């Protein structure tokens, strides 16, 4: 069966025809437009015409979404709003007002500010842990959905409009932003851009709240142009300053967008050659009129779904396509997924899987119905370089080769091992805090020590304590280390636990169901089921002889009752191969 079209298909946007279509093409499509799948899922697409298969993925609104909504633990309360920017800001506020975070300062005694400091740390930790639950909820959607492109596109936008919970410090805002990606992901880019610009997650992340008349803060305007719409080099520093003025006064109160009229600069601005009393939406509309914007967005979508190298002439055509459809994303996706270019040798099997893609597609190919609780999805994908709601910078994740280093390649194999052979010393990161100082404080408090003694750092022996460790030892109207410990304790009481079911895997059953007779067939089946790029023939022989050695037979009928662990070793070896990282 042809795995790719001819080399001449590269850069050819002509749609493929039903006579080109086969199981391998359908497998490639599902891999990229979704997260891959078990053979039955691929077969379903392969039986359609290419046009019908692509439309089924792109126009997914016809398929009902029967997945549950996020189940909030109930960790937020109105006293937390507006949440101050730092612990010093909280204690300063408390000293000035006699109250902060909905808690009054104690009239006297030791550490009258302690309950307030505890609550400050409580919310930081509760939001972090609840974000882990949101990420699990999303990962489970990616695994279980019947509309995979909806999730894949949301993942794309999450990298594009990258917002980090660590800065926003409110899981409700990052969840709200994800809902926008689900809602507008394949719709109109203008709707999405405006919605994102008015969304508290982005407003908070890019400090829009402090962008006020007379003193514009440029962060928001700069990133909108540089990263979200046009790319660097297509506007001047003056354009940034003028755009920043147009966004002045944009802010949020809790989860609601507001415009502070008296802080909005309503004067005339000259932006990208136009002059007027522009506000933020006007600025976005002017940006969208620039031909470079359509090219930029189309190029970024292409690189995410197809490959990193994009010929300028192709980018021009894709940009025209999106501009002519009034910035609708779905027609662009449809054209890309149907194009010969998408099935050319330059595109097939040449993408290095992102960590999220690696994890979700591994689960799906194993036939799992949900992300396993062990290993922890967030810790595992984070160690591989991509943790949901935690992109490294506002530029999102660097895709492509940046995903793999020598260290991370080994880590990918170890991840596979952790799925196939769950660690029995596993500690759940939503309950157990690995930070040494929190654990030490917990032990000392239990021993009945007073707070000052219990929070004294242990280290500093012969060479003395570093400045930062001396400074962290604050013990005055409150104790920071105690607050950090107590905040964690309060958070794990409130946040619901993440279920910790390990993956239920039955490879023996998989082999039996596929009717495989001998070890050569098993290796071929695993390679085909799990890999998009097969390893060298010599490697196949090595794997077969490995399995023969483990089973002491090549006859599956002989080995069927005892082969499970050996099959898992085989699969661990396959998933550790460099080729397994390719999609």
Partner 1 sequence: MKSQFTRREVLRAGLYGVGIGAAGIVPVPPLFASTAQALGAQISNNGRILVVLELSGGNDGLNTLVPYADDAYYRLRPKIGIRAGSLRKIDEHFGFSSGMAGFERLYKEGTLAVVHGCGYENPSFSHFTSMAYWHTAAPNRGDEYGWVGRAADAISPKAPPNFLVNIDTRQSLAVRSRVHTPLVFDDPNKFTRDGFYEERDVFARVADPGGVENPSRRYLLDIARSAKSASALVKEAWAKYKSPVDYGITGLDLPKVAALIDAGLPARLYYTSYRNNAFDTHVFQGDVHQRILTYTSDAVSAFMQDLKRIGRADDVAVMIFSEFGRRVPENTSLGTDHGAANLMFVAGGKVKGGHYGKIPSLTNLDAGDNLVYTTDFRRVYATMISGWLGFQDAPAILNGKFETFDMFV
Residues 446-475 interacting with partner 1 (rule: CB under 8 A): 459-469, 471-472
Among 48, 93, 281, 352, binds partner 1 (CB under 8 A): 352
Q: Is 207 in the site for partner 1 (CB under 8 A)?
A: yes
As a whole number of Å, the end-to-end CA separation of the chain is 18
Which lies closer to partner 1 via its Cβ, residue 219 or residue 489?
Answer: 219
Least distance in angstroms from the C-beta of 148 to partner 1: 22
Within 251-270, the residues that bind partner 1 by CB under 8 A are: none
Q: Note the residue count of the chain.
A: 583
Q: Quote the CA–CA distance of 577 and 464 in Å, as a whole number.
A: 47
Give 217 or 520: the residue with its C-beta nearer to partner 1: 217
- Give the span between the Cα atoms of 115 and 97, in whole angstroms: 15
Q: Are 177 and 168 in contact (CB under 8 A)?
A: no
Judged by CB under 8 A, the number of residues near partner 1 is 73
Nearer to partner 1, 44 or 217 (CB): 217
Pick between residue 67 and residue 398 the one whose CB is nearest to partner 1: 398
349 binds partner 1 (CB under 8 A): yes
Closer CB to partner 1, 196 or 416, in the complex: 416
Any contact of residue 414 with partner 1 (CB under 8 A)? Answer: yes
CA pair distance 515, 521, nearest whole angstrom: 9
Q: Does 410 bind partner 1 (CB under 8 A)?
A: yes
Sign of CA dihedral 57, 62, 67, 71: positive
Handedness of CA 110, 113, 117, 118 (dihedral sign): positive
Cis ω before 82 (30° cut-off from 0) = yes
| Of 508, 502, 515, 503, nearest in space to 570 by CA | 508
Nearest to partner 1 of 186, 390 (CB atom): 390
Q: Does 86 bind partner 1 (CB under 8 A)?
A: yes
Using the rule CB under 8 A, which residue among 395, 436, 443, 558 binds partner 1?
395
Give the contacts of 165 (CB within 8 A, at least 6 positions apart). 127, 128, 131, 171, 174, 389, 390
Regarding 85 and contact with partner 1 (CB under 8 A), the answer is: yes
Q: Which residues contact 364 (CB under 8 A, 6 or more apart)?
A: 35, 36, 37, 38, 41, 143
Under the binding rule (CB under 8 A), the answer on residue 435 touching partner 1 is no
Please report whether residue 393 would count as binding partner 1 according to CB under 8 A: yes
What is the rounded distance in angstroms from the CA atom of residue 336 to the CA atom of residue 339? 5
Instruction: Select the residue interacting with partner 1 from 6, 8, 392, 497 (CB under 8 A).
Output: 392
- Choose, by CB under 8 A, the member of 103, 281, 320, 409 that binds partner 1: 409
Where is 250: in which H helix or E strand? strand 250-253
Q: Which of residues 520-539 bind partner 1 (CB under 8 A)?
A: 533, 535-536, 538-539
In the complex, minimum distance from the CB of residue 572 to partner 1, in angstroms, rounded to a whole number: 7
Site map (CB under 8 A) of partner 1, residues 213-252, x = contact: -xx-xxx--x---x-----xx---x--x------------
Q: How far is CA 22 from the centre of its chain?
A: 31
CB of 86 to partner 1, least distance (A): 5
Binder to partner 1 among 67, 89, 436, 443 (CB under 8 A)?
A: 89
- Count CB-CB contacts under 10 A for residue 583: 21
Closest CB to partner 1 among residues 260, 576: 576
Q: How many CB atoms lie within 10 A of CB 343?
A: 26
Q: Is 281 in the site for partner 1 (CB under 8 A)?
A: no
- Among residues 53, 366, 511, 543, the one that binds partner 1 under rule CB under 8 A: 543
């Amino acid at each position: 069966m042809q795995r790719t079209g001819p080399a001449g298909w590269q850069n050819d946007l002509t749609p493929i025809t039903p006579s080109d279509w086969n199981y391998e093409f359908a497998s490639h499509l599902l891999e990229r437009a979704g997260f891959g799948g078990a053979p039955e899922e691929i077969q379903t697409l392969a039986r359609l015409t290419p046009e019908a298969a692509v439309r089924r993925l792109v126009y997914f609104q016809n398929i009902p979404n029967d997945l549950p909504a996020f189940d909030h633990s109930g960790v937020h309360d109105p006293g937390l709003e507006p949440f101050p920017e730092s612990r010093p800001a909280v204690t300063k506020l408390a000293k000035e007002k006699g109250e902060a975070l909905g808690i009054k300062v104690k009239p006297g005694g030791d550490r009258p500010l302690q309950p307030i400091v505890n609550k400050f740390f409580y919310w930081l930790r509760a939001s972090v842990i609840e974000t882990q639950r949101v990420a699990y909820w999303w990962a489970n959607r990616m695994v279980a959905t019947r509309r995979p492109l909806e999730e894949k596109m949301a993942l794309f936008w999450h990298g594009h409009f990258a917002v980090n919970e660590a800065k926003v410090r409110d899981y409700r805002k990052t969840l709200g932003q994800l809902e926008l990606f689900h809602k507008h992901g394949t719709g109109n880019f203008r709707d999405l851009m405006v919605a994102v610009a008015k969304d508290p997650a982005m407003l908070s992340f890019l400090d829009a709240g402090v962008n006020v008349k007379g003193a514009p803060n440029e962060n928001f305007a700069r990133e909108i142009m540089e990263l979200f719409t046009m790319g660097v080099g297509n506007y001047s520093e003056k354009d940034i300053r003028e755009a920043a003025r147009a966004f002045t006064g944009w802010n949020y109160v809790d989860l609601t967008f507001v415009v502070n009229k008296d802080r909005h600069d309503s004067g005339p601005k000259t932006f990208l050659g136009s002059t007027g009393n522009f506000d933020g939406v006007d600025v976005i509309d002017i940006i969208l009129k620039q031909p470079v914007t359509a090219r930029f967005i189309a190029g970024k979508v292409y690189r995410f779904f197809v490959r990193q190298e994009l010929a300028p002439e192709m980018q021009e055509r894709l940009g025209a396509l999106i501009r002519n459809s009034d910035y609708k994303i779905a027609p662009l996706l449809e054209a890309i997924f149907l194009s010969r270019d998408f099935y050319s040798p330059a595109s097939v099997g040449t993408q290095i899987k992102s960590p999220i893609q690696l994890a979700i597609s591994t689960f799906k190919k194993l036939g799992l119905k949900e992300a396993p609780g062990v290993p922890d999805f967030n810790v595992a994908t984070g160690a591989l370089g991509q943790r949901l709601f935690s992109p490294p910078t506002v530029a999102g994740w660097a895709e492509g080769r940046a995903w793999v280093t020598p260290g991370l390649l080994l880590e990918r194999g170890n991840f596979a091992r952790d799925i196939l052979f769950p660690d029995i010393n596993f500690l759940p990161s939503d309950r157990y805090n690995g930070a040494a100082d929190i654990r030490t404080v917990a032990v000392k408090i239990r021993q009945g020590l007073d707070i000052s003694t219990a929070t004294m750092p242990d280290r500093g022996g012969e060479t003395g304590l570093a400045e930062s460790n001396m400074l962290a030892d604050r013990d005055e109207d409150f104790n920071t280390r105690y607050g950090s410990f107590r905040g964690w304790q309060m958070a794990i009481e409130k946040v619901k636990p993440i279920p910790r079911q390990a993956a239920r895997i039955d490879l023996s059953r998989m082999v039996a169901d596929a009717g495989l007779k001998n070890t050569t067939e098993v290796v071929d089946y695993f390679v085909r089921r799990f890999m998009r790029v097969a390893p060298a023939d010599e490697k196949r022989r090595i794997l077969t002889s490995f399995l023969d050695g483990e089973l002491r037979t090549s006859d599956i009928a002989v080995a069927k009752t005892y082969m499970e662990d050996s099959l898992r070793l085989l699969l661990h070896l396959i998933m550790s191969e460099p080729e397994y990282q390719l999609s």
